[in-house]
A and B are shown apart, each in its own frame.
Chain A
Amino acid sequence: MVGILLTRGMLVGFVAGLLCFGFLKLVGEPQVDRAIAFESAMEAREKPGAGQPQHDHSAHDHSMHDHSASATPKSAEMAKDEPEELVSRSTQAGLGLFTGVTVYNTAFGGLFALVFALAYRRMGDFDARTTSALLAICGIIAVYFVPIMKYPANPPAVGNPETLGMRTAFYFAMIAISLAAMIAAWMLRNRLLQRHGGWNAALMASAAYFIVVICVALALPEVNEVPDAFPAVVLWQFRIASAGAQLIMWTVIGLAFGALAERAEGSRNFLRLKTARY
């Protein structure tokens, strides 16, 4: 049963990945290109001598590498170890984006199925489709929307490479805490259910979740590495594109996986609907 659910989850995730790729290609890539254009313009202004075509940053924009390259322009050793154009922009925006997005979505689909297998009939008195939809709603809040309120997605040209390790740690910590708080909130809701009824139990659990994550978000250090001159519209549209892709992924997984899980339980007597144990 779990194997069937896992396969279906990954399948649904892959389909969500195709849709996300299409969306990001159309809506996200123009913002990435604009951010890279801004970065190139900034660098050309900073060091007019280094604005040669071989270093125009069209291929990649890894600032760490750029700094070393400008210190010793095109040393033979450098050229051997790190060619300027490791991956072309068209590959990054095409096959690279496709691979990243589909692997990410497929993995989330699989993990979603595993969580479903554990949450079904434990989360509450819900049928398969409702469980799936609720998991998706709670999932996108806990794993994406709450963490990005503190550490939003950033386009190229935003972010200091020296703080990357720290920023990554904070971002993952925010996700982990938010997810743990969400699970705890659901357990709290189930404890309060008998005494306070569905609505009040859910409201109290939600309040507890948001109090926890808001306190954690306030306690974690702030990161603001957006260059002063960076265009606000590009930043906004980039973040909207990023959020849109997440919305597509979680919606497709939540709805399509629910439908497939319901069918899986129909074929097996295992997860039949109707009567409740709760």
Chain B
Amino acid sequence: MTSVTFAPTAAPVAIPVREVLPWAVFAGLVLMIALYFVGAEEGATSLIRGMYVHEFLHDGRHLLGFPCH
């Protein structure tokens, strides 16, 4: 443990959960919604009426591996 004595500030520590949590919750939610729109909106479930989102993202949805229709 001598290295700790010589470099007291150098020890790499995890980012405290308290600091990560708000980011993880809010940004995580927004990003998951983005993935939902790319992957499943107007497919398995639908928030918006019509088929425009489905048709627009059609090719990407297939090629990214989502069940499309």
Contacts and interface: CB of A to CB of B under 8 A. Distances in A.
A271 interface: yes
Interface residues of A, number: 72
B64 A167 contact: no
A161 B46 CA distance: 14
Contacts of A65: 51
B15 interface: yes
Interface string A248-259: 000000000000
A92 B51 CA distance: 13
A151 B69 contact: no
A57 B10 CA distance: 63
Contacts of A111: 28, 31-32
A183 interface: no
| Chain A interface, >50% SS class | helix
Contact of A272 (B12, B14, B20, B59): B12
A151 B52 CA distance: 26
B58 A92 contact: yes
Contact of B52 (A32, A87, A120, A271): A87
B64 A100 contact: yes
A159 B3 contact: no
Contact of A87 (B7, B56, B65): B56
A242 interface: yes
Interface stretch (A1-9, A41-49, A188-196, A199-207): A1-9
B13 interface: yes
User: In the complex, which range does the number of interface residues on chain B fall in?
Assistant: 35 or more
A218 interface: no
B31 A110 contact: yes
A134 to B, nearest CB: 15
A99 B44 contact: no
A104 interface: yes
Interface string B14-39: 11010110011001100110110111
A74 interface: no
A93 B62 CA distance: 11
A101 B66 CA distance: 12
Given A82-B51, A93-B59, A272 B10 contact: yes
Contacts of B39: 104
B48 interface: no
Interface of B: 3-4, 7, 9-15, 17, 19-20, 23-24, 27-28, 31-32, 34-35, 37-40, 43-45, 50-52, 54-69
Given A92-B56, A245-B63, A246-B65, 19 more contacts: A24-B59, A28-B59, A86-B51, A87-B56, A96-B57, A96-B58, A104-B38, A106-B34, A114-B20, A117-B15, A118-B24, A121-B12, A148-B65, A164-B67, A165-B45, A242-B62, A272-B11, A275-B3, A277-B12
20 contacts: A2-B23, A24-B60, A28-B63, A63-B69, A82-B51, A93-B59, A96-B55, A101-B64, A114-B28, A117-B23, A120-B14, A121-B14, A121-B15, A127-B12, A148-B65, A154-B62, A154-B68, A159-B67, A271-B12, A271-B15
